[in-house]
């Protein structure tokens, strides 16, 4: 696919500086870009990489100072990453299969209901009473259990497993080898052995959610595990039974969310965060990577860090002191020695 610089500028409502007829074939980072590529400058601190970049067209923030070379074209915008998102969507849209075909090597129950322009690839199994919405693409070797509902314009990548009774909204993306609706980790010890508590609930995934590869979302014990509108889950995340994740959250890889956690809206959770069970996380919470959350966070729009978590600034102050501990111990021991010597002299 090829786009002209002037068309890109129009797409992102940017101000074009330079040759608008330059052809762009793909987006690359500053250091790897070559002629025919578009790159972007978000912050002034990347000026050195920017000046040596070979990209033909740059998207730049309109408040950044830069020098323009003869062979370069610039598109100035208010928000660089918003512009890059639009451009990437335009390029990626051409790569999504458009042909609506159901492979003869797939296996669909007679009760399956498909909307228009549905694509289902080879070796996918779709069981009884499943509904699949218009424009949805389902890759190969996907398993979809009984009574699953999948909305319009979804992309289910190869190897995804969706257990029975899951409800998936519109414009949902589920990446390879994710598992939706497996049993939660629920057992009762009867004094002799652990006995399984059978999970009869389901999973609901609302519109515009994206779920990364190898992420697992457990079905609720008796009610619903729910991922609400616009939330994005990275790869390798564990979401336990009866969790409720609010709208427009982003959660990074290797995070583990224990059962019955209620996460608000607009939260940002870093990688390898652990959240204990039956907690509430307030709206707008930001949790830094590798933090542990043992109790509820009730104050909205706060940053947290540490294991267990502290407010972000409190953690930074504490860590600054922690780094000084060896020196402080030496000073304390010296003072103790001086006090001891003084006491001996006074005796």
Q: Taking all residues of the chain, what is their mean pLDDT, rounded to a whole number? A: 92
Burial of 42 (0-12, 13-18, 19+ CB in 10 A): middle
Q: How far apart are CA 167 and CA 169, in angstroms?
A: 7
SS3 of residue 238 by DSSP: strand
Question: What pLDDT was estimated at residue 38?
Answer: 93
Quick check: is 241 catalytic?
Answer: yes
Q: How far apart are CA 245 and CA 53, in angstroms?
A: 41
C-alpha neighbours within 13 Å on the C-beta side of residue 262 = 8
Question: What pLDDT was estimated at residue 68?
Answer: 67
Q: How far apart are CA 31 and CA 49, in angstroms?
A: 6
Question: What pLDDT was estimated at residue 330?
Answer: 87
Counting residues of the chain whose pLDDT is more than 90, the rounded percentage is: 74
One DSSP character per residue, 28-83 reads: --TTT--TTEEEEE--GGGHHHHHH---SEEEEETTS--PPPTT-EEEEES-HHHH
Question: What pLDDT was estimated at residue 47?
Answer: 76
Do β-strands 216-218 and 179-182 pair in parallel, antiparallel, or remain unpaired? parallel
Superfamily of domain 160-308: Hexapeptide repeat proteins (2.160.10.10)
Query: In angstroms, what CA-CA distances link 10 with 58, 177, 195, 211?
Result: 14, 38, 62, 31
Radius of gyration of the chain, Cα coordinates, nearest whole angstrom? 27
SS3 of residue 333 by DSSP: helix
List, in sequence order, the alpha helices (H) in the chain.
5-11, 47-52, 80-92, 312-323, 325-346
For the chain, the first-to-last Cα distance in angstroms comes to 91
Q: How far apart are CA 297 and CA 150, in angstroms?
A: 34
Ranges of residues in the chain whose predicted pLDDT is under 70: 68-71, 93-98, 347
User: For domain 3-92, which CATH number applies: 3.40.1390.10, 1.10.10.10, 3.40.50.150, 3.40.50.300?
Assistant: 3.40.1390.10
Would you state the torsion angle of the CA atoms of residues 97, 101, 107, 113, taken in this order, to the nearest 10 degrees? 100
From 25, 175, 241, 278, active-site residue: 241
pTM, two decimal places: 0.84
Note the pLDDT tens digit of each residue in 287-317.
999 999 999 999 999 999 998 888 888 888 8
Question: What pLDDT was estimated at residue 93?
Answer: 65
Residue 346 has a CB neighbour count (10 Å cut-off) of: 6
């Amino acid at each position: 696919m090829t786009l002209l610089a002037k068309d890109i500028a129009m797409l992102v409502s940017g101000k074009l500086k330079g040759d608008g007829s330059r052809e762009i074939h793909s987006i690359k980072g500053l250091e790897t870009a070559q002629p025919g590529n578009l790159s972007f400058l978000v912050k002034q601190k990347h000026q050195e990489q920017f000046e040596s970049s070979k990209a033909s067209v740059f998207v730049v923030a309109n408040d950044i100072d830069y020098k323009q070379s003869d062979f370069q074209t610039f598109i100035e915008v208010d928000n660089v990453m918003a512009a890059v998102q639009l451009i990437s969507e335009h390029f990626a849209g051409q790569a999504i299969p458009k042909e609506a075909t159901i492979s003869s090597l797939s296996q669909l129950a007679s009760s399956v209901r498909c909307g228009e322009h549905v694509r289902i690839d080879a070796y996918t199994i779709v069981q009884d009473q499943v509904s699949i919405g218009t424009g949805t693409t389902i890759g190969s070797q996907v398993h979809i259990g009984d009574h699953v509902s999948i909305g319009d314009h979804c992309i289910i990548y190869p190897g995804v497993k969706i257990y029975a009774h899951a409800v998936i909204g519109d414009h949902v993306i589920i990446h390879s080898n994710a598992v939706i609706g497996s049993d939660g980790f629920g057992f009762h010890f009867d004094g002799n052995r652990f006995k399984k508590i059978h999970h009869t609930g389901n999973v609901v995934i609302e519109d515009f959610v994206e779920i990364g590869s190898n992420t697992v979302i457990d079905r609720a014990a008796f009610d619903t595990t729910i991922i609400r509108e616009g939330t994005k889950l990275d790869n390798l995340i564990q979401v336990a039974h009866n969790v409720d994740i609010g709208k427009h959250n982003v959660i990074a890889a290797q995070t583990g969310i224990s059962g019955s956690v209620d996460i608000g809206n607009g939260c940002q959770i870093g990688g390898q965060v652990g959240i204990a069970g039956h907690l509430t996380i307030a709206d707008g919470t930001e949790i830094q990577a590798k933090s542990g959350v043992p109790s509820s966070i009730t104050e909205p729009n706060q940053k947290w860090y540490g294991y267990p978590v502290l407010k972000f600034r409190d953690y930074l102050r504490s860590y600054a002191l922690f780094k000084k501990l060896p020196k402080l111990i030496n000073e304390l021991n010296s003072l103790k020695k001086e006090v001891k010597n003084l006491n001996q002299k006074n005796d």
